Amino acid sequence: MSVVDANRGGRRVVVTGMGAVCATGKSVDEFWSNAVNGVCGTEIRTIKANDGSQITVPVAQMDGFEPFAKELGRDLGRADDFSKFAAFAADQAVAASGLDFAEGDLGGRTATIMGTGIGGQSSLEDTYISMLCFEKRPHPLTILRLIPNAAASHLSIRYGLRGPAFAISSACASGAHAIGVAADLIRAGTSDAAVAGASEAIINKGALHAWKQMHILSDEFCRPFSKNRKGLIIGEGAGVLVLEEYERAKARGAEIHAEIVGFGMNADGKDMINPAVEGAAGAMKAALEGVRLPAGERIYVNAHGTGTLMNDPTETKAIRETLGAEADRISVSSTKAMHGHLLGAAGGVESVMSIKALQTGVIPPTINYDEPDPECDLDVTPNEARERPVNLAISNSFAFGGLNAVVAFGRV
């Protein structure tokens, strides 16, 4: 039985394709297998700029992506990595969906909504260093590489999609916003399908120095909800979904991975850095409005779980405020301890993680967990995956600037 309230208005939206690429996998299968086995993608790396200067920090960086990037074609070969990651993940999702965008007017009825927190950060850094240190002119394609809508535009062109196409940039909530807005376009009848998700590629010297100055980067591992947590680890990659109107997907016999049963978004309206319980809880409640909540033991929350001192207890309180007594029975985990914090792409990759938990009945673990924190007193699935049937998966994304976005997935 669907967890969607049959009396709720609008068309139903389902997921018929998924793609992911990050430090712990270059396909959904590899990504999920490593998640179930608690593989950590964090390593201490020395990141060099094109002037020879460098920074040494723990990051969740991809290895061996270059051969895959070469297969993306000439246009993407000249793009920034954040666009390459998006196309690589989207190719997986589109292939898995089985959609033919050339059929009828589907290309004209398909939206392309991609999120990113920064856009072409590496292209920007390389250009400025070349200009200021070596007096070189910018590459003619610099602007096309760095603009935040580059990934969305590349995907629209790549698949011939002529529906609404744009980027959403809302820091760490970008991916969840992109998926939720794309679902709303289908629900409202503006589109019949969508390629939606997010990508990020900021593992470069300048960006890492800037993050380090905020004093929220861990100097070892990300340890979400653990009392000895020290902060987050920067990752890179992309997560992309193909969304489709339910009746259309059912009529063509598509494999349906999950249904988007809710989406909530709001703003704290209080502070650029410090998160607010009421904002996070409000977004969760909005995502669950009109949803028949299953028993708590069948609910999984993929937490924002950054491993920072402020986020984790705030999110714990928000989950408790949203789910009440059932919060003691749910399963929670932060998979950022494995794949890193992908910033704008977090909601894309973590949506794939949430759907896989829903499909398989396996809760991915919160690895690197050492010591219980009384302020983070939920069942956070410490260190080892757990088999448990899931009927509702909730993916939380909370961003700097007090921006909150939550996507809820259910079985069909």
Q: Looking at the annotation, which residues are catalytic?
A: 172, 304, 341
| The token pair that represents 78 in the structure block | 């000249």
d(C-alpha 169, C-alpha 115), whole Å: 6
Q: Inter-axis angle of helices 174-187 and 346-360, to 10 degrees?
A: 70
C-beta of residue 294 within 8 angstroms of C-beta of residue 323? no
Q: Which amino acid is at 23?
A: A
Give the pair of three-digit tokens for residue 249.
């997907």
Q: How far is CA 219 from CA 23, 115, 300, in A?
A: 18, 28, 29
77 burial (CB, 10 Å; 0-12 / 13-18 / 19+) is: exposed
Conformation bin of residue 52: beta by default, left when phi > 0, alpha when psi is -120 to 50: left
Which CA distances in Å does 385 have to 31, 32, 34, 224? 14, 11, 11, 15
Identify which of 260, 200, 228, 167 has the alpha carbon closest to the alpha carbon of residue 371. 228
Torsion angle, CA of 72/73/79/82, rounded to 10 degrees?
-10
Q: Is there a contact between 331 and 301 (Cβ–Cβ < 8 Å)?
A: yes
Find all residues with CB under 8 Å of 206, minimum gap 6, and list them.
49, 121, 125
CA angle 101, 105, 109 (to 5 degrees): 80
